[in-house]
Structure 1
Amino acid sequence: MGRRNDEVEALLQEYADLILLTGGDAYRARSYEKAARAVGGHPGDVAHLDVKGLQEIPGVGKSIAAKIAEYLATGHLPAVDQLREKVPAGVREIMAIPGVGPKKAAVLHRDLGISSVAELLDAARADRLSEVPGFGERSAENILHGIEVLGQSGGRVLLNTATELAEEIVAELSRVPGCERCAYAGSLRRMRETIGDIDVLAAAEDSAPLMEALTALPYAADVIGHGTTKTSIRTTKGMQVDLRVVPADAWGAAMVYFTGSKAHNIRLRTRAVKAGLKLSEYGLFEVESGRKVVSASEEEVYAALGLPWIPPTLREDRGEIDAALRGELPEVVTERDVRGDLHTHTDLTDGLAPLEEMLATAAERGYAYYAVTDHAPNLYMQRMTDEKMLAQRQQVRELDRRFKGMRVLHGTELNIDPDGGVDWPPEFLAGFDLCVASVHSHFRAGRDAQTRRLVRACENPYVHIIGHPTTRLLGRRPGLDVDLDEVFAACARTGTVLEINASPERLDLNDEQILAARRHGVRFAVDSDAHSPLHLANLRYGIGTAQRGWLTKDDVINTWTWTRLRRLLNSVPSDSG
């Protein structure tokens, strides 16, 4: 199903982890990690490449290319299978706990004989981790929290994974004869950050061909239920997909019914009851006569309930119905409103593609401006130097003249140090068009220290944007322990912009944090944080998150015209409003 890049990326990353777990060479492991990221970010489907073609992917050498080709041909990689046999499955599960990783998992197994998450939980509660070299005073606390974070994922998948699968299923079912309409609904349409299962809705007179088509998909591993109105499957990746088929004239009511959260739908049904109506997936009906009032479109259903159409991303019962009744529902930002991307990377640091390739893809997206923001020198593994950055700046200036119609900005992603300082002195920072500042280390400092750290970064006159403000990685790393209200107040005071990082692993800030920051009057940038041309398209997930935070295009600076954005970038933060 779809591109096999993600599958190969996961395999190579697992191989890298297994090398570390079994005491193998760290440099070799890093080679596989780099190759994994390169395959994941490659725009084409690796399944269509031979060994020679695979070697053209940056970071994929001859040996790794041969292994990928072997896996694609056979579905197995003996080198990985052999290492799996040496490591208990439970140890691999421990490795997935936020804050643990392969090296610590190996030490725990070697020194304490811990081979499962349950055993680790017992050891942490019994304070046995302090016996292990390299585990500090807060190790037990951090691991307990990591186990809790891992448990919260509960089999849910990232938004992009669910979206790609849903779009493929909708495309397949739309080709079935007799299918009049097909779309996904549920929490995926509301663009929740993680998805438990996928709801697909189709309209047809005869449901049988659609139900058969769903169960015949090559990645349908199990048929959970099969009926005339609903069929459910579990895919080979463990994801449940529910297909419901309704008559074409019930489409609007069904989309309303299967999109809104439970709480939102209760509010709608309560309004219907007060008006003597009943709302179901088949329409809005008069209770006494049973006459159908409306059902064909969502707009008709909402209008019959005295409401304007409410965007799917707002249907969470967080005040959207009351706002609609007052005529105060926001016109939420859309991807069409975006004029540029202000946080991206190239292969000068940890990106996968050269600058010109990133710019060409951005130009194809119709951007009016685009910022390259490679990492600064305090992120030592990226080996940035003043000379490299100045050479890139010269290249950017030359390309800015070549890419007519798209301004090319030279920026950087600075590292916010534990005390809130950043890379480079003021005179060097003054040469950048744009500075994003992000936390990349010292995640476990106390709440007061983290808060002071971020506030000081906001107060730096050369910092325009705070990147991925909480640093969370969904299902892998919790956000910083920080007083966000104090940070939001500092941003409002200094005019510093907060990022909504569109990487599906981050979506940072999240929707609730955006709502809180918005109340302080903060402005936002929705950025892809792209490390390859393919990642530029992730902006859609950041926009969905921005919508869930009730943002309009005026709230998001990279929807502004270049003239307006330039005034913000050139102003002293405290004067930028």
Structure 2
Amino acid sequence: MARPNDEVAALLREYADLLAITGKDAFKQRAYERAARAIGGHPADVSRLDAGELRAIPGVGRSIADKVEEYLRTGRVAAVEAARGELPPGVRELTAVPGLGPKKALTLCRERGIASVDDLAAALREGRLAGLRGFGPRTVENLLRGVELLRASGGRVLLDAATALAEEAVAALEAAPGCERAAPAGSLRRMRETVGDLDLLAAAREAGPVMDAFAALPFAAEVIARGETAMAVRTPGGLRIDLRVLPPDAWGAGLLHFTGSREHAARIRELAARRGLRLSEYGLFDAETGRRRAARTEAGVYRRLGLPWIPPVLREDRGEIEAARRGELPRLVTEEDLRGDLHTHTSLTDGLAPLSEMAAVATERGYEWFAVTDHAPDLRMQRMTKEKILAQREELRALQGSFGGMRLLHGTELNIGPEGGVDWPGDFLAGFDVCVASIHSHFGLDRAAQTRRLIRACENPHVHVIGHPTTRKLGSRGPIDADLDAVFAACARTGTALEINGHPNRLDLRDEHVLRARAHGVLFAVDSDAHTPGELAHTRYGIGTAQRGWLTPAEVVTTWPLDRLRRFLAERGR
């Protein structure tokens, strides 16, 4: 079952959406979005907090706290019910289509009777939006792509949600009688950006007690299959979770088999067959005698096939087996390699915690340096001014030395305009330690325009990092249309780093892009894009993407010591 925090956060996000659709106060809408993010990331169970403790959560004032208490007490909120009642059925479902805003969704519902994604898909195919104001050929084309994107992501969950479920399940399985070990497998172990089904493995001599513990998990809403050693449940949100219980002496072979990918496993089986061996989830066997040659550890199975252990994140049949044969597997970057974070936000703009609190948690993470990069003024809803950002710089200087040996860096996240310009002039930008530049608007420009604006931002000597370069949001917004190879070449030429944004709904750049950019010789920054202290841990997901892109620490500037990082930042400003 969902955590109370997640349920409350979802309700507040819905209310914010309803306020946007009905054209109510934009400030109030953002307040509910901010509160949803704060409650979703709050470490304590909100159902156990009193009114004062609720209001102590950043962004949760008296009115929002009252609604949270009402929901926890009754399971409903009168204001949300009233807002739902103002809308024709189906409007909010339509806003899930990438590129379809609340006003246009309302227009479709009122003017064309479109009340679902299926209705919209049919209307687009049949040309029934012709003549409707605001729905010209380019908008129709974008909506077709949006429907395809939404359907392609259907049923898949983000990496952080899948990780949280897997960690809870693994802890419960390991506590079950007779269970010797448990672990996630499948696409989660390979750190894919989304997960369709969650695969779990357990090692035990008797499967029954382990499967009983699995069925008793709080989020196991329905048992949909059960055999002697395998079981499947479905969560209330519809995610299927499969458990396989293996004999302890077959653990390694089973982990390799169920981790995948399908293509990697097929190549490994072919390699085994050429050596007169047969590989299954129970072990590596001699094809003629049936004698088991390896099974207990993955490394033992790979070694018997003449290969070193291949990290799960590389198992996509993208050259990893050939590299392993040549002894050329990279020493992949890890979260422990990170020395700092170049993209974070505070309560000065859309973050939920003050600079001091963000820095304190960064210190707990063992960082050598830490950059705060609040939004610049062209993102008008954040109301940034020169005076505000300079006051923050003074605050940062006053705090310098308050966090052990960690050095604070003052930065900003600039907005890349439609022509590639950024918010402030060069003489003002020269005062920042680091500038991240990102696209936050004009997502519908054509390929040439998007490519040109990104390259121009790369060529700005004050821009050190291009943030979330393709702007995608998983399941809700597709990437911009740009010639990424031209952008990668420009970054390599200018020495501008490309961000791997660790926020689970971005993971931008994605792994395929990292591989292509790496071939150009690009440098990367793995960042959290944290808006709360807890979100600083999002780097774990960015690191997973970096590993899937075969990156080493030398290629990731956020692993560099302060002296080397400062040289990189200074060279960009020349």
Matched, 1:422 2:422: yes
Matched, 1:535 2:514: no
The match for 2:565 is: 565
Matched, 1:324 2:354: no
Q: Where does 1:56-455 land on structure 2 (aligned, <5 Å)?
A: 56-84=56-84, 87=87, 89-455=89-455
- Counterparts of 1:221 and 1:82, CA distance in 2: 30
- Counterparts of 1:450 and 1:190, CA distance in 2: 32
- Counterparts of 2:265 and 2:175, CA distance in 1: 31
Q: Where does 1:26-65 land on structure 2 (aligned, <5 Å)?
A: 26-65=26-65
The match for 2:486 is: 486
Aligned 8 A contact 2:464 2:572 in 1: no
- Counterparts of 2:185 and 2:6, CA distance in 1: 24
Change (3 A) 1:43 1:173: same
3-state DSSP class of the match of 1:145?
helix
3-state DSSP class of the match of 1:188?
helix
- Counterparts of 2:354 and 2:70, CA distance in 1: 29
Aligned 8 A contact 1:129 1:139 in 2: no
Change (3 A) 1:171 1:330: same
Does 15-24 or 357-366 show the bigger shift? 15-24
Aligned 8 A contact 2:377 2:423 in 1: yes
- Counterparts of 2:127 and 2:138, CA distance in 1: 10
Supply the AA of the counterpart residue of 2:408. V
- Counterparts of 2:204 and 2:85, CA distance in 1: 50
Supply the AA of the counterpart residue of 2:335. E
Aligned 8 A contact 1:496 1:573 in 2: no
3-state DSSP class of the match of 2:90?
helix
- Counterparts of 2:170 and 2:399, CA distance in 1: 40
- Counterparts of 2:283 and 2:73, CA distance in 1: 50
Deviations 1:200-224 (A, max 9, x none): 1000111101111111222211111
Give, in angstroms, the shift of residue 15 of structure 1: 1.6
Give, in angstroms, the shift of residue 25 of structure 1: 4.5
3-state DSSP class of the match of 2:111?
helix
Give, in angstroms, the shift of residue 16 of structure 1: 1.9
3-state DSSP class of the match of 1:409?
strand
Aligned 8 A contact 1:189 1:312 in 2: yes
3-state DSSP class of the match of 1:39?
helix
TM-score (norm 1): 0.97
- Counterparts of 1:26 and 1:407, CA distance in 2: 37
- Counterparts of 1:409 and 1:136, CA distance in 2: 46
The match for 1:462 is: 462
Deviations 1:475-521 (A, max 9, x none): 11111100000000000000000000000000000000000000000
What is the root-mean-square deviation in Å for CA atoms of aligned residues?
1.6
3-state DSSP class of the match of 1:199?
strand
Give, in angstroms, the shift of residue 402 of structure 1: 1.8
3-state DSSP class of the match of 1:120?
helix
Change (3 A) 1:89 1:110: closer
Deviations 1:442-484 (A, max 9, x none): 1100100110100010000000000000000001111110000
Aligned 8 A contact 1:332 1:550 in 2: yes
Supply the AA of the counterpart residue of 1:353. A
Aligned 8 A contact 1:41 1:531 in 2: no
3-state DSSP class of the match of 2:202?
strand
Q: Which runs of 5+ in 1 are unaligned?
A: none
Does 311-320 or 117-126 show the bigger shift? 117-126
- Counterparts of 2:27 and 2:107, CA distance in 1: 19
Aligned 8 A contact 1:495 1:573 in 2: no
The match for 1:548 is: 548
Deviations 1:270-325 (A, max 9, x none): 01111111111111111111111111111101100110000010001010000100
- Counterparts of 2:481 and 2:456, CA distance in 1: 16
3-state DSSP class of the match of 2:284?
strand
- Counterparts of 1:386 and 1:129, CA distance in 2: 45
Give, in angstroms, the shift of residue 132 of structure 1: 3.3
Aligned 8 A contact 1:211 1:228 in 2: no
Give, in angstroms, the shift of residue 3 of structure 1: 4.2
Change (3 A) 1:194 1:413: same
Give, in angstroms, the shift of residue 403 of structure 1: 1.9
Corresponding pairs, count = 574
- Counterparts of 2:453 and 2:187, CA distance in 1: 35
Aligned 8 A contact 2:88 2:109 in 1: no
Aligned 8 A contact 1:350 1:531 in 2: yes
Supply the AA of the counterpart residue of 1:71. Y
Deviations 1:176-201 (A, max 9, x none): 12110011010000000010011010
Aligned 8 A contact 2:451 2:487 in 1: yes
Question: 4+ runs of 1 displaced by more than 6 Å?
Answer: none
Supply the AA of the counterpart residue of 1:318. R
Give, in angstroms, the shift of residue 253 of structure 1: 0.7
- Counterparts of 1:556 and 1:372, CA distance in 2: 18
Supply the AA of the counterpart residue of 2:498. L
Supply the AA of the counterpart residue of 1:162. A
Give, in angstroms, the shift of residue 129 of structure 1: 3.1
3-state DSSP class of the match of 2:253?
helix
Identity of aligned residues (%): 64
Does 223-232 or 73-82 show the bigger shift? 73-82
TM-score (norm 2): 0.97
Aligned 8 A contact 2:414 2:438 in 1: yes
Q: Which runs of 5+ in 2 are unaligned?
A: none
Supply the AA of the counterpart residue of 2:147. I
Supply the AA of the counterpart residue of 2:459. E
